[in-house]
Amino acid sequence: MAGQSAAIIESKDAYFSYSGDGEPSPALSGINFSVKRGEYVALIGPNGSGKTTLLKLFNALLIPSNGEVLVKGISTTEEDKLPEVRRSCGMIFQNPDNQLVATTVEEDLAFGLENLALPVSVIRKRVKATAALLGLEMLLKQPPHLLSGGEKQRVAIAGVLAMEPDCILMDEPTAMLDPAGRHSVLNTVHALNRNRGIAVIHVTHFPEEAALAGRVLALNEGRVVADGAAKKVLTDLDLLHKIGLQGTTAGELAALLRLGGCPLPSHILNNRELVDNICTLAQNN
């Protein structure tokens, strides 16, 4: 089961309704997909499309009303295995202020481990190693509320990482951060994915962030409407526009320029690709 291609998360025809009165349709309807070890999946979709609800199903904070969600082969309905499910799929939320609980960074990193009832020596070792990995050594004695937003998010990620998860679930982790904080968080998570093979599911409204993922999954009205390589899903501007989303700035501008008669390729996703292609065209003129 632990092979390279083993699924960490499987969603089998999962439905979810917030049993509210007068609600026309469930928040999620018939979600089928799986995430493999080491994959980086960006989860996109308009406001209210079900992204947060789906992450909560993967973390067993919610249980599907129909269908099934499996984490490393364990159904999220198996209550005695919930600690293992939550350990292997840690969650990072949008607001860095709401997820740090302790009075110092060090205690915060140890918090989850203490709940696993690990020996003190193991806890110390893991806290040290995780802090080193994320460049937080200098901050260990600091109270979390004095850190910048980007630092707080990195501490939250470190807290999840110390649990040695197989997958990190992130719900708009950079939404509240300034550009510098955003960079540091994105670099951190991509490095963990690349170097440690930790799978990532990353909910974002920024096409530029989704473009960095290997795979992009788009939700609309509780259903999966696209699932494929970032290059494929994010350059399908017709589809994105139809569900109220947009491509990257570079991709959208390339499409406008094509309409204006510039023969630019249709796979352009980032600024560098756009600038290179425009300069090549200008030279050939």
Where does this chain bind ligand ATP (CB under 6 A)? Answer: 18, 20, 27, 45, 47-53
Of 108, 172, 209, 236, the residue at the interface with other proteins (CB under 8 A) is: 172
Contacting other proteins (CB under 8 A), which of 6, 116, 118, 176? Answer: 176
> Could you give the CA distance from residue 275 to residue 152 in angstroms, rounded to a whole number?
34
What is the DSSP code (8-state) at residue 266? T
Residue closer to ligand ATP, measured from CB, 52 or 130: 52
109 or 168, CB closer to Mg ion? 168
What's the number of CA atoms in the CB half-sphere (13 Å) around residue 207? 23
Q: Which of 40, 39, 43 is nearest to 57 (CA)?
A: 43
Of the residues 32, 34, 48, 115, which one makes contact with other proteins according to CB under 8 A: 48
Candidates 177, 200, 234, 269; binder of other proteins (CB under 8 A) is 177
Give dist(CA 195, CA 46) in Å, integer.
Answer: 31
CA dist 69 and 31 (Å) reads: 10
Q: Does 205 bind other proteins (CB under 8 A)?
A: yes
Phi-psi region of 236 (alpha: psi -120 to 50; beta: other; left: phi over 0): beta
Of 48 and 73, nearer to other proteins (C-beta) is: 48
Find out whether 207 and 219 touch, Cβ atoms under 8 Å: no
User: How many whole angstroms separate alpha carbon 163 and alpha carbon 90?
Assistant: 8
Contact 148, 161 (CB under 8 A): no
Q: Which does 180 bind (CB under 5 to 8 A by kind): other proteins, Mg ion, ligand ATP, none?
A: other proteins
Does 63 engage in binding with other proteins (CB under 8 A)?
no
- Which option in other proteins, ligand ATP, Mg ion, none does residue 101 bind, with CB closer than 5 to 8 A by kind? none
- To the nearest whole angstrom, how small is the minimum distance from the Cβ of residue 46 to other proteins? 5
**Does residue 187 belong to the site contacting other proteins (CB under 8 A)?**
no
CA atoms of 177 and 200, how far apart (whole Å): 19
Site for other proteins in 78-117 (CB under 8 A): 94-95
For residue 73, CA distances in Å to 6, 79, 283 come to 9, 14, 55
Among 2, 141, 238, 260, binds other proteins (CB under 8 A): 260
List of residues contacting other proteins (CB under 8 A): 18, 20-24, 45-48, 52, 94-95, 148-150, 172, 175-182, 205, 207-208, 244-246, 248-250, 252-253, 256-257, 260-262, 271-272, 274-275, 278-279, 281-282, 285
